[in-house]
């Protein structure tokens, strides 16, 4: 196999159709931008995930794990390595009394809906976040005064060494848009959420209220990655961006949303470079006008500049 590339060799150890080569990442991110990944692996189960990572580590190939691609900006030059998708094939959800158990690939909106059907409250805040529960755990996703750390009971993950570990909510070291998985290697496999019994009509009404507020205040009609920057202590990124005079500002096809300045949107066939350069412009101008350093909430994958 000396004349075979690692991507072709990877195809021989995984089921047919699960490894895509030179796959455009614009198909797999909510920004709808990004060049090709050398390999894109649609993971079907834990054993395949473990085998894939073991292979990549043996070959010294870089890899990155994604769910719904909702918080990710991939370079126009793509990614030299393998992108592993934990999605539909690993998205089972089950209810155990007042707990919801979900595999990492389950979408937050779907998990929230299942909780509502089971008359369990506490996850309403997540019903409109366009991501998978695995990604939400890694970054402690939140909205409307709710965040994942409030409802997580335990997280089962795969270590870089191929071991399966279960961490409690305390061991996850959740903080604002962060967790232990931002600092230590590990891949979320599943999560157990501790919810509370509630009234289905009340839960549904709360979810509908949050959805209406999103439609009213957020540019949902354009591709984006949600909130582009983290909220600075004691302030709001959108407010600082607006005060810096950047509402509607554009670089190429990327724009600061006029509807909500906290969102950078793909307004008109933007490239990843357009979005990246606009984010840099925002950071510079906000620093000049307010003295505050805005920290990206978006994760960058591949080479920029």
Would you name the residues annotated as active-site residues? 177, 227, 297
Joined tokens for residue 218:
């957020």
Strands (E), the chain: 19-24, 36-43, 63-66, 72-74, 79-86, 93-96, 99-103, 120-121, 142-143, 146-147, 152-158, 164-168, 187-194, 196-197, 250-251, 254-256, 264-266, 299-301
Long-range pairs of 215-218 with CB within 8 A, sequence gap ≥ 24 = 217/259, 217/260, 218/257, 218/259, 218/260, 218/263
Cβ atoms within 10 Å of 88's Cβ, excluding its own: 12
Phi, psi at 209, each rounded to 5°: -65, -45
Whole-number Å distance between alpha carbons of 210 and 212: 5
- Report the relative pairing of strands 254-256 and 250-251 from DSSP bridges: antiparallel
What the block records as the tokens of 96 is: 């155990």
């Amino acid at each position: 196999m000396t004349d075979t590339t690692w991507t072709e060799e990877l195809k021989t150890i995984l089921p047919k159709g699960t490894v895509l080569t030179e796959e455009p990442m614009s198909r797999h991110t909510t920004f709808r931008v990004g060049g090709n990944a050398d390999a894109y692996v649609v993971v079907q189960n834990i054993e395949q995930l473990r085998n894939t990572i073991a292979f990549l580590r043996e070959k010294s190939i870089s890899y990155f794990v994604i769910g719904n691609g909702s918080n990710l900006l991939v370079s126009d030059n793509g990614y030299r390595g393998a992108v592993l998708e934990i999605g539909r094939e690993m998205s089972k959800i089950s209810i155990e009394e007042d707990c919801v158990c979900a595999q990492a690939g389950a979408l937050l909106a779907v998990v929230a809906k299942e909780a509502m059907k089971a008359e369990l409250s506490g996850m309403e805040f997540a019903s409109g976040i366009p991501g998978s529960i695995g990604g939400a755990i890694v970054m402690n996703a939140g909205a409307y005064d709710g965040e994942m750390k409030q409802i997580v009971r335990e997280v089962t993950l795969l270590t870089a060494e191929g071991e399966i570990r279960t961490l409690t909510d305390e061991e996850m070291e959740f903080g604002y848009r962060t967790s232990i998985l931002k600092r230590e290697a590990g891949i979320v496999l599943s999560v157990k959420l501790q919810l509370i019994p509630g009234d289905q009509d009340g839960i549904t009404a709360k979810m509908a209220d949050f959805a209406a507020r999103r439609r009213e205040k957020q540019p949902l009609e354009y591709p984006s990655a949600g909130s582009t920057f983290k909220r600075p202590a004691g302030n709001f990124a959108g407010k600082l961006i607006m005060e810096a005079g950047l509402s509607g500002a554009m670089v190429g096809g990327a724009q600061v949303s006029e509807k909500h300045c906290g969102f950078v949107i793909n307004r008109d066939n933007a490239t990843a470079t357009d979005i990246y350069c606009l984010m840099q412009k925002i950071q510079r101008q906000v620093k000049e006008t307010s003295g505050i350093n805005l920290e990206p909430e978006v994760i960058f994958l591949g080479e920029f500049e």
